[in-house]
Structure 1
Amino acid sequence: MSDPNEIRDPGVPAWHVAEEDLRAYGRGELAPPVLWSADTHLMACARCRAVLAEVSDPVPLDDGWERLDAELDAPRPGLLESLLVRIGVADHTARLLAATPVLRLSWLGAVVAVLAMTVIAANSVRAPGTISLFLALAPLLPLAGVALSYGPALDPTYEMAVVSPMHGFRLLMIRTVPVLAVALVLNGLATLALPAYGLRALAWLLPALALTATGLALTPRLGPVLAPGLVGGAWITVLMVARGADDGTLAPYTVPGQGAAAAVAVLAAGFFYLRRDRFDAVSAHPPFTGLPGGGAM
């Protein structure tokens, strides 16, 4: 340190970092709390900065600045990504999940709002047919979430996702399974808000699984937008054309309809798994927009 009897300019720090400490600082070997004091002092003291430049090996110092630049430029994880890392999810997987568009508050808020309005409508007029709106809508929400979670047309991070070093099928699962789980949980919470209808309010589950599995199975052929769109259109057509029991129950919610939905879900899931290698071909072509044959619009 400097001589305490030395006459100093009021604007100059009253002490200086020892030369041996500056050498250790330049090598990256200076330990706290001396490191913290040296950092603060060097910001205000031109003399110590000049000594540091003389005694420091330029290579470690340059490396230190490069590490500092890299640290400052590194993206800061958001709340969802931080939570996923804390529960043991790998960093790269957590980042892919956090970047999923439909796991953000805007999408979740829209789904909650739609379900809330449907539940309010069903509870306001407790007639046999009032639950039909909820049962018709609930299976479409997981399908829509899966459609929006993967693909170049709707995912702004698609190009970064497809260049990640992982199997295309695994990438799709990382994106779609959490979205499907969240949608099913929200639908389940909405079902709890319809206690007057009993177990009948849970009848959406099998059709939801059947629609989602079918949409995923058709994705390698038709693309991540067109396949769910056609499946959703087919579901609406079935609801409009088919008739169920005499009490107005929709055909998919009769006993034969539920059995058919379970069979479709199992068959589509098996077909989806057998065609898992086809997702590498989809991921290898970022311009793929969901048109038959993978062509661009």
Structure 2
Amino acid sequence: MTWHVSEEDLRAYARGALAPPALWSADTHLSACATCRAALADAGDPAALDAGWERLDAELDAPRPGPVESLLVRLGVADHTARLLAATPVLRRSWLGAVTAVLTLTVLATHLARSTGSPTLFLALAPLLPLGGVALAYGPRLDPTYEMAVVSPVHGFRLLMIRTVAVLVAGLGLDGLATLALPGYGLSALGWLLPALALTTTGLALTPRFGPVLAPGAVGVGWAVLLYAARAAADGRTLAPFTAAGQGVAAVVAVLAAALLFAARDRFDFSLRSAA
């Protein structure tokens, strides 16, 4: 050490009277300097000294916010909400990287199959990504912070909505960027948006009954079956879910599922905690 806390500051620290920023400097220095810790032990009232050590221990043990959490706090998000958002599994680089790779390959495949006149593969896959993110966002088998989230003093429905916002921002954002790589299809390349909202809200509405993993999984299987049936009946035309009528049905399903989700909001505390 090239410097040490002054004797006057040590006495003030021991009394609990040292104010920031000198307090922060002393805390940091004392955590690494045995000489100053020994001097502090002789500096004043034992009770005040114990309080200082407790404060120092708490400072050393406090979790350090990551870059995502720090950014959310700077944007005005409450500390506890920012921590729950930052802990969402879908915000990890592994998930974001996997989704980006899948979308990239899908866009490339769509470009190679331009003879179809419709980005069917992309439209079929894109709605499943936000739905899959919901399944990964909350659950005892998939979320390493699940126990912490369950015991947090937050209504289960609000907790799930916080995580869902993170999923939708990430999933829909990546889907939107991929859509920009398909300019040749015009507005038809946006046909994934309403089905994505319909699938996500339906999966959430079924969560109190089937759980946070099985419900989105069942909805995803239902979407695959619907597309298979639509393809069999299409006879070379646009698949029914991506026609004007199909988009209208998706919008209605999204609204009805959102209403059902809101009506069942008080069941989330019991259902999500019973899954632990």
Q: Tell me the TM-score normalised to structure 2 length.
A: 0.88
Letter aligned with residue 24 of structure 1? A
Any conservation in 2 of the 1:135–1:201 contact (CA below 8 Å)?
Answer: yes
> How far, CA to CA, are the matches of 2:22 and 2:191 in structure 1?
67
Aligned position for 1:116: 104
Instruction: Say yes or no: does 1:74 pair with 2:59.
Output: no
**Residue of structure 1 equivalent to 2:94:** 106
Which residue of 2 is the match for residue 10 of structure 1? none
Pairs within 5 Å for 1:52-201: 53-128=41-116, 131-201=119-189
> Conserved in 2, the CA contact under 8 Å of 1:144 and 1:228?
yes
- Please state which structure has a larger fraction of its residues in helix: 2
Separation in 1, partners of 2:87, 2:141: 15
The change in CA–CA distance for 1:232 and 1:32 in structure 2 (over 3 A counts) is closer
Take 1:194 and 1:92, find their aligned partners in 2: how far apart are those partners? 39
Are the equivalent residues in 2 in contact too, given 1:162–1:286 (CA < 8 A)?
A: no
Segments of 5+ residues of structure 2 without an aligned counterpart are none
8 A contact 1:213–1:272 mirrored in 2? yes
Partners of 1:227 and 1:76 in 2: how far apart?
35
| Partner of residue 267, structure 2 | 278
Distance in 1, matches of 2:20 and 2:248, equals 68
Aligned to 2:204: 216
* Structure-2 residue corresponding to 1:251: 240
Residue 28 in structure 1 maps to residue 28 in structure 2: no
The alignment partner of 1:77 has SS state of coil
Structure 1 residues 28 and 269 mapped into 2: Cα distance closer, same or farther (>3 Å)? same
Q: Structure 1 residues 56 and 266, CA, compared in 2 at 3 Å: closer, same or farther?
A: same
Give the alignment partner of residue 256 of structure 2, picking from 248, 251, 267.
267
Cα distance change, pair 29–112 in 1 and its aligned pair in 2 (3 A): same
Mark the CA change 1:205 to 1:22 in structure 2 (over 3 Å): closer, same or farther: closer
Q: Alpha-carbon deviation of 1:178?
A: 1.7
Write the distance in 2 (CA, Å) between the matches of 1:246 and 1:144.
30
TM-score, normalised with respect to structure 1 = 0.82
Q: Cα deviation per residue 1:78-121 (whole Å; 9 max; x = unaligned)?
A: 00000001111111111111111111111011111110111111
The answer to whether the 8 A contact 1:153-1:225 is kept is no
Distance 1:109 1:28 in 2: 48
Change (3 A) 1:138 1:62: same
Change (3 A) 1:26 1:105: same
Larger radius of gyration: 1
Percent of residue pairs bearing the same amino acid type: 68
The answer to whether residue 198 in structure 2 is matched with residue 233 in structure 1 is no
CA gap of 1:55–1:74, structure 2 versus 1, over 3 A, is closer
Change in CA separation of 1:32 and 1:228 when aligned onto 2, cut-off 3 Å:
closer
